[in-house]
Amino acid sequence: MGSPVSAVIANLYMEAFEEHAIESAPYKPKIWKRYVDDTFTIFDRGNVDSFLRHLNGQQPTIRFTMETEKESKIAFLDTSVSKEPGGRLTTSVYRKPNHTDQYLAYDSHHPQSVKRGIVKCLYDRAKRLVTKPSVISEEKKHLSSVLVSNGYPSSFVQKLTRTRKAAPGVEPETEFKSTAVLPYIKGVSEPLRCCLQQQGIRAVFKSNTTLRSHLVRPKDTVDPAKEDSVVYRIPCECGKVYIGETGRSMQERIKEHDTDI
């Protein structure tokens, strides 16, 4: 767990697992689609339970659970798949019952590019997943209402979602010679980005204040007296101060001062 290759190895194993399981199954699924550990399957209803037992009999450490369609609908990841009366399958966006429709607030301390990305991501997902035109219209109305409730101005949302005609002879994207990663400071970072772009440097902003930075401490804090290679300051009763630099530990250097006194 935690290794960069863990997901790759797990996926390779699951590919071999599912190929053997399907080939050896007495009843094979009509459709088998898998993403990581979630599968979407179309199967004859009478053979579903026996196929599930067959899957769980392959390896003692791998167990599948099953959900079946209800009212001709079933969820797969963030997609809701519906079966029409004629047998045709249609898809739309799926949200869990506990979904709160809360997204990054517009007045939060983040670059405008992040807020634009949230709007575009939600609308792009609707375009990809929703197949019925009537449902697309309802989804867009829902997204507009949700974004406004999160503080996004209507003009901001409409500008990003307005359909634009492709201009002939589109200029190629600018190639940057280097990238600078900087902390985001509202009112300062935007002009700085323009200056860097003029010099051929792409600016990428990050937030230093995160929940992880406040809660996660992977290492114990070092005692200041045991740190080395420091600049130190010693105040005196007369009001003056002594400023020194040492490559040894602070504790050792202070002892030397005490001995000299």
Give the pLDDT of the chain (261 residues) as one tens digit per residue. 678 898 899 899 999 999 999 999 988 899 999 998 899 999 888 889 999 999 999 998 899 999 999 999 999 999 999 999 888 999 999 999 899 999 999 998 888 889 999 999 999 999 999 998 889 999 999 999 999 999 999 999 999 988 655 555 555 667 888 898 888 888 888 898 889 988 889 888 887 777 777 777 777 777 888 888 889 998 988 889 999 999 988 889 889 888 888
Number of domains, the chain: 4
Residues 158 and 97 in one domain: yes
Which structural domain, as residue segments, surrounds residue 253? 224-260
Q: Is residue 83 part of a domain?
A: no
The answer to whether residue 254 sits within a structural domain is: yes
Residues 149 and 200 in one domain: no
183 contacts: CB under 8 Å, gap ≥ 6: 189, 205, 206, 207, 208
One domain, residues 234 and 208: no
144 and 198 share one domain: no
Domain annotation covers residue 80: no
Residues 209 and 150 grouped into a single domain: no
Task: Assess whether 39 and 100 both reside in one domain.
Answer: no
Q: For residue 154, tell me if it sits in a domain.
A: yes
Q: Is residue 202 part of a domain?
A: yes
With 0.75 as the threshold, say if the pTM is over it. Answer: no
In a domain, 81, yes or no: no
In a domain, 82, yes or no: no
155 domain residue, yes or no? yes
Same domain for 143 and 109 = yes
CA distances, 21 to each of 28, 51, 66, 172, 243 (Å): 9, 9, 16, 48, 73
Residue 70 DSSP code:
B
In this structure, are 150 and 186 located in the same domain? Answer: no
| Contact predicate 231/243, CB 8 Å | yes
